[in-house]
Structure 1
Amino acid sequence: MSQSVVKNAKADAPPPGRSAPAGRRLQGHPWLTLLTVAVGVMMVALDGTIVAIANPAIQNDLKASPADIQWVTSGYLLALAVFLITAGKIGDRFGHKSTFLVGAVGFAASSAAIGFAGNIQTVIAFRVLQGLFGALLQPAALGLLRGAFPVEKLNMAIGIWAGVIGASTAAGPIVGGLLVEHVSWQSVFFINIPVGLLALLLGIWVLKDVRAENAAKSFDIPGILLLSAAMFMLVWGIIKAPSWGWGDTSTLLFLGGAVLALVAFALWQRVAREPLIPLSLFRSVPLSAGTLLMILMAFSFFGAIFFVTFYLQNVHGMSPVDAGVHLLPMTGMMIVGAPAAGAAIGRVGPRIPIVVGMVLTSVAMYGMSTLDAGSGSGVMSLWFVLMGLGISPVLVGATEVIVGNAPLELSGVAGGLQQAAMQVGGSLGTAVLGALMAAKVTDVLPGNWAAAGLPPVEGAQAQGLEQAAQLGIAPPPAPGTPQQVVDAMATAVHDSFVSGMSLAFAVAAVVAFVAALLGLLTRRGTTDTGPAVHI
């Protein structure tokens, strides 16, 4: 146990012969701490997917352009990815409790502002602010868990925490669909207000700050600026590449600028007095492997799962709520599997569960690549269950490897690194697999169209057909079109979409298998995980 933790424990101890007040006994309680941080991160995870369902209603109500609506999602994810590591440093410097509380209040307040917005520009501005406050919450949550739990129970806590994130992410389409259908698009944001207030009240009552004395006392401003610029250019280049083209000058400038900024950042970290991310962190092979593993896991999982919602809604004709319900087998396995994975990792270490989990994920991805337009719910559920079971130990294990192999005074930075790796991997996977899928659909659509006996389509009409087919959307028939022709058009489009989706899942399966091999380099954290708190 570090000296600073010992000092904090002594300072908080009651005088001899007197017991601590009931409120003080609850402060720092591990399981109540877990409940509190879970409430906070639930808002961030839920908002990553819940808003996608509300976007059409927002566009219609505020008369927004397609580009503006893209910014409603991209602005949030961009701010979240760019600020995560800096937010972790803020937690290390000022305390994870204070950082968590500011993040919870700010997230709820910016959500309220979006609900009251009267134009799309205001919505976008406060979505960016939401992302910044959300970035404060996630690394602080991991820092608080690490400070509250003894080493033998930390993995189980991280497992439950990861389960909450997975369940919230998957529940987004269901919750969003219900709110938009039965209340309004504003309610998607207003729901964060009571959740944020609950996180604030629980945080004031329950959370106890644990910080190391040797945490940096100043901020590496040049490092923050260089890293933020690199993350912005990388994520923005990835987001825009599908529409600009991967070989476009703008795409290459952003991605090349990101590489240059990262090189400059690494060089600066070698000479900075108090670096933002000490490069000595990456001397730990398990930590470096865990970070790359998180990127590859997010690449394959979030990149591939992006297409499932289009497959369910546009190919199978499900409503957003029905599509969310069909994802429940995966969600349920993540909820059950994450705590179980935490317990298993506590017994045997992270290596075996991570490798087994990524192998199961790879098998599930390959299984998803075999689906066709007529696949039933049973076979889909089988692969969803396997995917949920496979991804759970990876979310828990990689988090434990990254945060557990970092010094206590850098736990916030390590938490930010873990979350940033997930955001970058997810963005990269969505963009790269999306580009591969689009190319495949464009390649096979003319042949499927002709095989269905349909007349050729040229010019702008052909381009519009390709763009719709990349989302699995059959073109609207002209009045009086025979049903046989309508069915033939839908079949050609859906078969083309499924061909592209199959390629995306096959590539994701290969990436997941590479991640499984990388998992062989991971091991349990060797640094002090914080105070042993009575449970």
Structure 2
Amino acid sequence: MATLSYGSATGRWVLTATILGSGIAAIDATVVGIALPAIGRSFDADLETLQWVVTSYTLALAGLLLIAGALGDRYGRRRIFLVGVVWFAVASVLCGAAPDAPTLIAARALQGVGAALLTPGSLAILQASFRPEDRSRAIGAWSGLGGVATAIGPFLGGWLVGAASWRLIFAINVPIAVVVILLTSRHVPESRDTTATGPVDVPGGTLVTLGLVGVTYGLIEGHSLGWTSPAVLTSLCGGVLLLAGFVWWERRTAHPMLPLDLFASPQFSATNVVTFVVYGAIGGALFLLPIQLQQVSGYTALQAGVSLLPVTAIMLALSARSGALAARIGPRLQMSVGPVVVGLGMALFARITASGSYVLEVLPAVTVLGLGLATTVAPLTSTALSSARSSHAGMASAVNNDVARAAGLVAVAVLPAAAGITGTAYLDPSRLSTGFHTAVLICAALCFVAGALAAATIRNPPHPPATAPAPDKPWMHCAVDAPPPAPAPAHHP
């Protein structure tokens, strides 16, 4: 029963627990990119290894996010949230203590499992705990303070890497997790979806996760092992077959993890195609950018982290206004223009060299990128919600989030090789810079294509779009590692 008020002591403790819980996953997602050059030096690792440090986490998170939400609905959101926090903390310790790169990659995959368990629970707990008239304020506070955590991540990670060791970026999760466990155990009420029936779709979750692993392994290792090598061909073909098996299973099972009738809406399908292209470009470029800044431009880890703060600041300042504008005029204009502006920001990254200054080279690019994201993310997310039936609004948002993460996963696997950055090329400033410029121009072109796709496929509703779907699901976090695009309405997915 949702009975907590926003101003009550218990309500504040519940809010604090959920903010800190989701915060450790948000911080971790941003600090690892800053630490990649240091990790590479520590283990004498090639670029494929660094790709796996990132993608092993994303694989587990993307593959298990939907099934983790179902587990919380059935077995208790507080229980699954706590399991996720404990799991994440233990995996963080393993990451920080990893003696070699394979151990770090395995520990990062375990971290992704923990993140998948805790991420949907944080908002579901707020939805289930606060009375309806206070939910929008609670989720608005969660959004804003979560954005602060995201902004702190690169700064904190860069400082820890420069002052001590990359291992400390994982150690900082442990004391935060302890606080979250204590607060959640003491103050957060248990809740579950009493209407959820049938078994959790474990076969579906297994098929999609193993399918993503197979495809990702083939894409990352194809350049080094050869695209016709038995291992790569087996991995790619097996991954595709498993993903096809996932679709077949979801059509057949009585209780699917992913209701495929969501995609019967042309608007929903088009929105997710645009999401995949835009977030693939963003994920690929932001994987390489911190490496370029440190290996070519001579930035310290701290300077590289701080250099990206304008993106988060702009999104914090403008995303809510962008969402309000889309509600008035419809999403088509912003979803068409926004990706083009993001692409312009990507193209400006091609100006980053070894000799240029932050103000002249980096700041213009991250500023334009931030403006493009602020223009795009809010209408994109709200369109994904409003184009599905209200009863599927929460699932629609979760699918859109997962599509974005899968896009970043594929981009990190494919883009470096497509740009000629393989093996130890990232250690050679000249080769890295040439490849980076190629990569960001590829990303810019993808964003321009996404803008054209949106212009051709997205339609404004005949009336102002409704962004307040069914009251039984939480307002889901937008797919970018930044705050949600707009404060949640009083009734939200």
Same fold (TM over 0.5): yes
For residue 384 of structure 1, report the CA deviation from its aligned partner: 0.8
Structure 2 Cα separation of the partners of residues 501 and 353 of structure 1: 25
For 1:219, what is the secondary structure of its paired residue?
A: coil
Structure 2 Cα separation of the partners of residues 270 and 518 of structure 1: 29
Structure 1 Cα separation of the partners of residues 21 and 103 of structure 2: 24
How many residues in Structure 1 have an aligned counterpart in Structure 2?
469
Does the aligned pair in 1 maintain the 2:15–2:138 contact within 8 Å? Answer: no
Matched letter for residue 181 of structure 2 = L
Match status 1:229 vs 2:210: yes
> Can you list the C-alpha shifts for 1:230-282, whole angstroms capped at 9, x where unaligned?
22223333333443455655444333333322222222222212122122222
For structure 2, the 5+ residue unaligned runs are 474-488
Matched letter for residue 434 of structure 1 = P
Structure 1 Cα separation of the partners of residues 160 and 241 of structure 2: 44
TM-score, normalised with respect to structure 1: 0.73
Identity, % of aligned positions: 30
Structure 1 Cα separation of the partners of residues 467 and 320 of structure 2: 18
User: Hey, what does 2:242 align to over in structure 1?
Assistant: 261
User: Hey, what does 1:510 align to over in structure 2?
Assistant: 448
Match runs of 1:151-162 below 5 Å: 157=139, 161=143
For residue 389 of structure 1, report the CA deviation from its aligned partner: 2.2
Match status 1:366 vs 2:347: yes
Match runs of 1:61-460 below 5 Å: 71-116=52-97, 122-144=103-125, 157=139, 161=143, 164=146, 171-204=152-185, 207=188, 211-245=192-226, 250-345=231-326, 350-369=331-350, 374-379=355-360, 380-403=362-385, 413-414=395-396, 416-438=398-420
For structure 1, the 5+ residue unaligned runs are 1-7, 13-19, 442-465, 475-489
Matched letter for residue 470 of structure 2 = D
Quickly say closer, same or farther: Cα 1:57–1:100, change in 2 above 3 A: same
User: Hey, what does 1:446 align to over in structure 2?
Assistant: none
For residue 71 of structure 1, report the CA deviation from its aligned partner: 4.5
Quickly say closer, same or farther: Cα 1:184–1:372, change in 2 above 3 A: closer
Structure 2 Cα separation of the partners of residues 326 and 344 of structure 1: 29
> Can you list the C-alpha shifts for 1:269-306, whole angstroms capped at 9, x where unaligned?
22212122122222233433333332222111111222
Does the aligned pair in 2 maintain the 1:92–1:413 contact within 8 Å? Answer: no
**What root-mean-square deviation, in Å, do the aligned CA atoms of Structure 1 and Structure 2 show?**
4.0
Match runs of 1:14-29 below 5 Å: 25=8, 29=11
Equivalent of 1:471 in 426, 449, 459? 426
For residue 426 of structure 1, report the CA deviation from its aligned partner: 0.6
Structure 2 Cα separation of the partners of residues 370 and 64 of structure 1: 29
Matched letter for residue 418 of structure 1 = N
Does the aligned pair in 2 maintain the 1:176–1:188 contact within 8 Å? Answer: yes
> Can you list the C-alpha shifts for 1:303-361, whole angstroms capped at 9, x where unaligned?
12223223322222221212222222223213323344455456556555444432321
> Can you list the C-alpha shifts for 1:393-429, whole angstroms capped at 9, x where unaligned?
5344444444566677766654542332122111222
Structure 1 Cα separation of the partners of residues 441 and 137 of structure 2: 35
For residue 434 of structure 1, report the CA deviation from its aligned partner: 1.8
Does the aligned pair in 2 maintain the 1:34–1:145 contact within 8 Å? Answer: yes
For residue 192 of structure 1, report the CA deviation from its aligned partner: 0.5
Structure 2 Cα separation of the partners of residues 203 and 506 of structure 1: 43
TM-score, normalised with respect to structure 2: 0.78
Quickly say closer, same or farther: Cα 1:25–1:378, change in 2 above 3 A: closer
> Can you list the C-alpha shifts for 1:107-133, whole angstroms capped at 9, x where unaligned?
123223444556666544433221101
Matched letter for residue 471 of structure 1 = Y
Structure 2 Cα separation of the partners of residues 200 and 102 of structure 1: 9
Matched letter for residue 419 of structure 1 = N
For 2:258, what is the secondary structure of its paired residue?
A: coil
* Bigger Cα Rg: 1
Quickly say closer, same or farther: Cα 1:153–1:70, change in 2 above 3 A: same
User: Hey, what does 1:482 align to over in structure 2?
Assistant: none
For residue 503 of structure 1, report the CA deviation from its aligned partner: 3.3
User: Hey, what does 1:38 align to over in structure 2?
Assistant: 19
Quickly say closer, same or farther: Cα 1:304–1:321, change in 2 above 3 A: same
Quickly say closer, same or farther: Cα 1:185–1:365, change in 2 above 3 A: closer
Does the aligned pair in 2 maintain the 1:231–1:258 contact within 8 Å? Answer: yes
> Can you list the C-alpha shifts for 1:367-387, whole angstroms capped at 9, x where unaligned?
334555554423431221121
